[in-house]
Amino acid sequence: MQDNPYKGYRPPALDKLKECGARVWSDVEMETTGGVFSGIILPRAETADAEHIVLKMRTGYNIGIRADRIVSMTVRGVKEAHYRIPEQEFPYDDSNPNVTLLGTGGTIASRLDYRTGAVIPAFTPGELYGAVPELADVCNLHTEKLFGIFSENMGPKQYIALAEAIGREIEKGVAGIMIGHGTDTMHHTAAALSYMVQDSPVPIVMVGSQRSSDRPSSDAAFNLRSAAYAAAHGEIAEVMVCMFGPTSDSYNLLHRGTRVRKMHSSYRSTFRTIGDIPLATVTPDSLRPLREGVYRKRAGRAVRIVPAFEEKVTMVYYYPNMKPDIIDSLVDNGYRGIVIAGTGLGHVNRPLYDALRRAHDRGVALYMTVQTLWGFVQMYVYETGREIMDLGVVPCDNMLPEAAYIKLGWALGQTDDLDEVKKIMLTSVAGEITEREPHDGYLVLQGGLPEVQDFLKNHMM
Amino acid sequence: MSHDRIYRSLGFRSGLEVHQQLATKRKLFCRCPVGLNNGEPDARVTRHMRPTLSELGEYDGTALMEFKTRKTVVYELLRDSMCTYEIDDTPPFRINQRAVEYAIEIALLFHCNLVDEIHITRKQYLDGSIPAGFQRTAVVGLGGWIPFRGREIGIRQVNLEEDSCREVRDEGHQIIWRTDRLSTPLVEVITEPDLETPEEVSAVNALIGRILRSSGKVRRGIGSARQDINVSITGGTRVEIKGVFRTSYGEALTANEAKRQRALLEVRNELYRRGITTETFEASSVDVTPIFAGGEEDLLPEGFVPGPAVRVVRLNGWHDLLATTTQPGRVFAHELAGRVRVIACLDAMPNLVHSDNPRVFGLTDEIWRTIRHAATATKEDGLVIVWGVARDVETACAEIIDRAREATVGVPNETRQALPGGLNRFERILPGPDRMYPDTDSPPTAISREMVERIAAALPEPLWEVEERLRKLGVSEWEARDLALSPWRDVFEKAASGGLLPVKRLAMILTGHRRAARRAGIAFDSIPPGEMERALELLGRRTLLWPGFVALLVRLADAVRAGNGEEERAGIDGIVKSDRLTPAMGEEIDMLVNTMMKGWTGGIGVDIDAAHRALTGEVVYALGPRADGAAIAKKIGERLRGMR
């Protein structure tokens, strides 16, 4: 914070500060044409205008004063903020399992950024413990900060680094692994790790928060505690996402990494398992499996890490009236794989046919998923589907579009042989394709129906 | 006024925080309609709150206290009055611009300096009253004033903020809130601690309320305005009394709080005399569950169920101090009981027994001897017994010891809850600036000069100037206050300048009679101003007499309420004509008097005065609203005299 004494200020506000001998964190009294104001000068968000100076008053409130109204300023001192949770050493207990928390950034570990006025990922996992000491009740926590980035900036490099870090931790003999991750692309990373880390003997639990940890109502602590329990004591050794079940903080769900999707822009209970049921419910001190057919925790440190990713892979969300030039330009730009999210059972319009044939002829891997998210691609039902398959488009069963996109990148990262790619794509590695869709795998309760209202009256939302 | 001197000598200081809901249709940070909904909840959500660091990197005392209480928070949801914003599942939408304008107008009415840019700040509340764990609030104006009894009362700050949830129930470790009221826009007007007596607190509170109403931009009705009152005396500390629903309660509440603070300072002085300071203070607690459980049940008084765990706190050297009177009917032990109730969630009262009032529950001397022995206490010590779930009892003991230690300093910084009868009780530790945090979800909003100029140009005339002008016209103090905020102010001023009716009579009609009419269920205020003016004119010209005038107003009010267009079109003159409201004149009275007096013979021994009254009464009754009593009495008098 020492580096720039005028953080975020531009002329004319910047000029006024300099003229008055004041800087960020100065304790000042401002004489203005509209009265006297006093407080501490705060950094200004860079996206805010250049006209105002931000003051934190003794009451704790912030206000903005127009620089051109300021007649004079008396600087009475400097009070710099140290926004920091005291970092505490984790109490080690021999009877507790060892768990590693890998940090990537995101709102589970965030703090205020004065520059932008937004939250940035900046808490070290050690500081996280300072905020959530209950973690020590269930595990001995070790932490490693791999990156400090928003989840939208996660990409192949990070997937591979994460997979390799997981391999190292398993080799060290940890009982479970947690990964702190921003929620926006958590399901992409979850899919990537599901393919890259195979036959893990221990739980790999991804966790984040929908309300940043700088607010009292944050879901971060509950998520972290539940994830810690699943990692330390859970019997399910898969790549999973651990986030709120209902919006109440009563229990979390463990979702399989390839079947999970963020379904709401802001709800706490945003993650849902699509086309199947979740693996388990979990709380900070209990875990209840919901289904059979999971990979169980095993002794030993054997794991297969398959780190590979081809970046020239893309996903096309089909819409009526899509023009062939969309596909053509992808081919011309050197894309090697395209996952299409088609309508209904997996369809696109006839004008795209030539473009798809051309792509196929040029060796581009073409795969079909459904934008309905729920249900299988069924290209034999209608003639359209059969025609599209004839063009070389391969149906991906009930793989979610994001899971298919990540998988195609991973497959093409391993081989150029399109037959081999096809084999990889259509062989389920981690539940991304299921043989059966359970009858309760598609449940989107419709609000307003009397029976649903009854359900809501009798259960915490 | 001698009371005032006492409060001045105590160094009584008080300031007000008046919260007033604004009359916007929609909420402050979402598009939900404003209004309460008492229906069955559609659904419920449960949450827990954790304290976080302030912007300057410190924990707030209140936040930590509320965390200790480990409450489960439940929200009742009703579709019509809330959306996902109210359960903190959607970030705030842009601030309601209408509310911003109303707040600016109110800040100007209080002579505040306006900020140039509104920054939304989060004010932490971990009691669950706001699902986000913080209230979104912003300063709009600073450094204002209002005139009061020849001096100025400083206005420290005018804030625009969202209202909190309504509490449904608070029991043990669960508190239930309803989300309908949440995010209703309100202004908070904070005065400097310039009020010097409890009476001034009520008077200034009422004045602020009237100024707010003079804007015409605030909501009315129960719960639309609430005040917090800050009180301190010399040597004491600022204590906030929260949730005062009526301005008139302020006087008793602040007087009792001043007494409480004086009593706490006396306790501190007595502790000093006994050599107990913050440094030498000693206390401890022991488990005495076995004394109450099993074996010697005969010892226990009937009806005393001590719960699964019992502990006793020993306060060294505190003998006799726990029974020190603090407020009417309250003693120091209530200070301890308040903390135990709120923080340890032991809320079945009484929640403790102490050695200065040992007979509660009929605990015998023998039990007390056993307890004193277990606590290794001497006669000089004070003992406090608490019971309940073990974990809560431990919290309770820690809180009792903390609160007793605070007695060595004097008056702790607390938020206290107003109770009926002017008493107050502990609600929470007074929050400080450490619970403030900038709202990262909302960008700052510049207040344009054009907007301020537009609002300033349309600002209503200052209330005190209106009242002064009315008083100068010759109306009473009470009527001036009433008229200043009345929808009839313009009608009054116009009619008063017309001079057809005496000012006092006019004022009586538009204040006292208006009030009586509304109590009687007549929609007085729905009468169109133009029609009222015309009715007053008819009364002034004696085209209508009082009964006719009253009948006309009732008809007008009914017509408007019933939406009776035809009557409205007929207008006043039509109603006057069709209802025959004009007074009966010469010949008509003559005829009626003749009829009444037919057969009247008079005669010796008849009481002429009584007959006069009786006959007049009959004629007046027959004519109803058209009766001019004075004219009728005169006429009958003449006839009677003529017959003699």
- Kindly report the CATH number assigned to the domain that includes residue A420: 3.40.50.40
User: How many percent of chain B have pLDDT more than 90?
Assistant: 64
Q: Is the pLDDT of residue B58 over 60?
A: no
- As a three-state string, the secondary structure of B293-358 is CCCCHHHCCCCCCCCCEEEEEEECCCCCHHHCEEECCEEHHHHHHHHHHHHCCCCCCCCEEECCCC
Q: Is the pLDDT of residue B170 over 80?
A: yes
Can you tell me whether residue B175 is helix, strand or coil?
strand
Number of domains in chain A: 3
Q: Is the pLDDT of residue A392 over 50?
A: yes
Q: Is the pLDDT of residue B160 over 90?
A: yes
User: Which of A210, A217, A456 lies closest to B43 in CB terms?
Assistant: A456
How large is the average pLDDT for residues B608-633? 82
The DSSP symbol for B626 reads G
Model ipTM?
0.89
> Mutation test of the interface with chain A: which of B191, B440, B447, choosing the one with the most A Cβ atoms within 10 A?
B440
- As a three-state string, the secondary structure of A379-436 is CCCCHHHHHHHHCCEEECCCCCHHHHHHHHHHHHHHCCCHHHHHHHHHCCCCCCCCCC
Is the Cβ–Cβ distance between A239 and A194 less than 8 Å?
A: yes
Q: Is the pLDDT of residue B63 over 60?
A: no
Q: Is the pLDDT of residue A422 over 70?
A: yes
Q: How far apart are CA B618 and CA A149, in angstroms?
A: 96
A137 is catalytic: no
The CATH number given to whatever domain includes residue A233 is 3.40.50.1170
How large is the average pLDDT for residues A417-437? 96
Tokens of B519: 């109590």
The CATH number given to whatever domain includes residue A64 is 2.30.30.520
CA of B140: which chain A residue's CA is closest?
A63
CA of B55: which chain A residue's CA is closest?
A83
Strands (E), A129-215: 140-145, 176-180, 197-198, 204-207
pLDDT score recorded for residue A380? 87
Q: Which residue range forms the structural domain that includes residue A337?
A: 313-426
> Are A355 and A416 found together in one domain?
yes
Q: Is the pLDDT of residue B65 over 70?
A: no
Q: Is residue A1 part of a domain?
A: no
Do B84 and A36 make contact, defined as CB atoms within 8 angstroms? no
Q: How many CB pairs under 8 A join A and B?
A: 173
Measured between beta carbons, the chain A residues lying within 8 angstroms of B121 are: 60-62
Which of A139-143, B96-100, B622-626 comes out lowest in average pLDDT? Answer: B622-626
Range from A55-69, A97-111, A143-157 that averages highest in pLDDT? A55-69
- Which one has a higher pLDDT value, B435 or A283? A283
CB atoms within 10 A of CB B267: 21
Tokens of B1: 């006024």
Residue with tokens 């100024």: B211
- Each residue's pLDDT tens digit, B371-416: 999 999 999 999 999 999 898 999 999 999 999 999 999 999 999 9
> Are A202 and A297 found together in one domain?
yes
- Each residue's pLDDT tens digit, B229-273: 999 999 989 999 998 878 788 899 999 999 999 999 999 999 999
How large is the average pLDDT for residues A132-160? 87
Q: How far apart are CA B586 and CA A97, in angstroms?
A: 110
Q: Is the pLDDT of residue B95 over 80?
A: yes
> Are A214 and A113 found together in one domain?
yes
Name the minimum distance, in Å, from the CA of A292 to any CA of chain B: 30
Amino acid at B495: A
pLDDT score recorded for residue B386? 93
pLDDT score recorded for residue B600? 66
> Are A166 and A44 found together in one domain?
no
> Are A268 and A338 found together in one domain?
no
Is the Cβ–Cβ distance between A143 and A126 less than 8 Å?
A: yes
Q: How far is CA A301 from CA A98, A167, A173, A199, in A?
A: 14, 9, 6, 10
How large is the average pLDDT for residues A365-386? 93
Q: Is the pLDDT of residue A154 over 80?
A: yes
- Each residue's pLDDT tens digit, B535-567: 999 999 888 888 889 988 998 888 777 776 555
pLDDT score recorded for residue B595? 79
> Are A356 and A266 found together in one domain?
no
Is the Cβ–Cβ distance between B275 and B315 less than 8 Å?
A: no
Do B53 and A249 make contact, defined as CB atoms within 8 angstroms? no
What domains appear along chain B, each with residue ranges and CATH number?
2-247 (no CATH), 282-407 (3.30.1360.30), 459-578 (no CATH), 586-643 (no CATH)
Q: Is residue A450 part of a domain?
A: no
Q: Is residue A373 part of a domain?
A: yes
> Are A253 and A399 found together in one domain?
no
Name the band, by pLDDT with cuts 50, 70 and 90, for residue B570. Answer: low
Name the band, by pLDDT with cuts 50, 70 and 90, for residue B588. Answer: confident
Q: Is residue A460 part of a domain?
A: no
Name the band, by pLDDT with cuts 50, 70 and 90, for residue A135. Answer: confident
Q: How far apart are CA B295 and CA B288, in angstroms?
A: 14
Is the Cβ–Cβ distance between A371 and A317 less than 8 Å?
A: yes
> Are A139 and A285 found together in one domain?
yes
How large is the average pLDDT for residues A48-70? 93
Which of A24-33, A119-128, B533-542 comes out lowest in average pLDDT? Answer: A119-128
Q: Is residue A436 part of a domain?
A: no
Do B134 and A456 make contact, defined as CB atoms within 8 angstroms? no
- Each residue's pLDDT tens digit, A347-362: 999 999 999 999 999 9
pLDDT score recorded for residue B124? 83
- Each residue's pLDDT tens digit, A1-16: 446 889 889 999 999 9
How large is the average pLDDT for residues A142-166? 89
- Which one has a higher pLDDT value, A73 or B124? A73
Measured between beta carbons, the chain A residues lying within 8 angstroms of B56 are: 56, 79, 81-83
Q: Is the pLDDT of residue A110 over 90?
A: no
The DSSP symbol for B162 reads E
Can you tell me whether residue B383 is helix, strand or coil?
strand
Q: Is residue A198 part of a domain?
A: yes
Q: Is residue A366 part of a domain?
A: yes
> Are A183 and A267 found together in one domain?
yes
> Are A133 and A275 found together in one domain?
yes
> Are A26 and A119 found together in one domain?
no
Average pLDDT of every residue of chain B? 88
Q: Is the pLDDT of residue A112 over 60?
A: no
Beta bridge partners of B452: none
pLDDT score recorded for residue B64? 58
The DSSP symbol for B26 reads B
Q: Is residue A64 part of a domain?
A: yes
> Are A299 and A328 found together in one domain?
no
Amino acid at A297: K
